């Protein structure tokens, strides 16, 4: 089990996906789960801060991550891969993710995903905000991936084909603030996480750093 945490736009998803492919592991995008529940809530006209309603929804929905590439997210049989990345979901997801009962339901799903992979003899690269601290505190290797906020906003704007970097930066900074300040499972690096700052580094550079750390850990475990 490899855990990758960090703020929005630090390169977690891309690097986690590439690392999983290199290692032959499954990729668990936990943000996609929070996004899918948020998407369903908005479509159903629910208030994203209504814990009772949101918890009932989180416990009821069936979310499947279909391995790619590209990975697809299926919510109650419907492909929501594109809509969960849209601005409406991005603006509401941190409100939903701050609700303790929603987190309980999502963490249960994440652990079930990992258990299924491990039963098949396959490892998992999981990425999110609380993976190394709460969801998989016994992960073999933990990373905390960060980058300068402006650089993170530029990357995210480019991915979305959105020229308004300043507004993207406002969105991700608002989300980072909520994710860091919430009471339950806030965004933070685990004490034993390897910290990587991806500012000025290419995806290939970061992937190489991740692979080196994974190999070093495996060597230490192997005792040679």
| Binding region for ligand CDP (CB under 6 A) | 8, 13, 30-31, 34-35, 93-94, 97, 128-131, 175, 179
CB of 44 to ligand CDP, least distance (A): 19
Nearer to ligand CDP (CB atom), residue 105 or residue 224: 105
Buried b (16+ CB within 10 A) or exposed e, 76-88: eeeebbebbbeee
Nearer to ligand CDP (CB atom), residue 181 or residue 215: 181
CB of 20 to ligand CDP, least distance (A): 15
Nearer to ligand CDP (CB atom), residue 15 or residue 194: 15
The string of DSSP codes covering 27-81 is EEEHHHHHHHHHHHHHHTT--TT-HHHHHHHHHH--EEEE--SSPEEEETTEE-T
Nearer to ligand CDP (CB atom), residue 48 or residue 128: 128
CB of 11 to ligand CDP, least distance (A): 9
Backbone angles phi and psi of 44, in degrees to 5: -85, 0
How far is it, in rounded angstroms, from Cα 51 to Cα 102?
8
- Secondary structure element (H or E) that encloses residue 169, with its range: helix 165-181
CB of 215 to ligand CDP, least distance (A): 26
């Amino acid at each position: 089990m490899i855990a990758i945490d960090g703020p929005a736009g630090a390169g977690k998803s891309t690097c986690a996906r590439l690392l999983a492919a290199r290692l032959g592991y499954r990729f668990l995008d936990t943000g996609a789960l929070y996004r899918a529940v948020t998407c369903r809530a908005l479509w159903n006209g629910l208030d994203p801060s209504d814990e009772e309603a949101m918890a009932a929804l989180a416990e009821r929905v069936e979310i499947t991550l279909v391995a790619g590439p590209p990975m697809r997210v299926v919510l109650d049989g419907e492909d929501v891969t594109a809509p969960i990345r849209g601005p409406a979901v991005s603006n509401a997801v941190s409100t939903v993710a701050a609700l303790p009962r929603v987190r309980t339901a999502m963490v249960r799903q994440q652990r079930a995903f990992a258990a299924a992979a491990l039963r098949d003899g396959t490892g998992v690269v999981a990425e999110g905000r609380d993976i190394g601290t709460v969801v998989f505190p016994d992960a073999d290797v933990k990373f905390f991936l960060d980058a300068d906020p402006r650089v993170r906003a530029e990357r995210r704007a480019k991915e979305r084909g959105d020229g308004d970097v300043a507004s993207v930066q406002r969105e991700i900074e608002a989300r980072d603030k909520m994710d860091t300040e919430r009471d339950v499972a806030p965004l933070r690096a685990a004490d034993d996480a390897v910290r990587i700052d991806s500012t000025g580094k290419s995806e290939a550079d970061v992937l190489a750093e991740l692979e080196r750390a994974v190999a070093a850990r495996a060597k230490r475990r192997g005792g040679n």
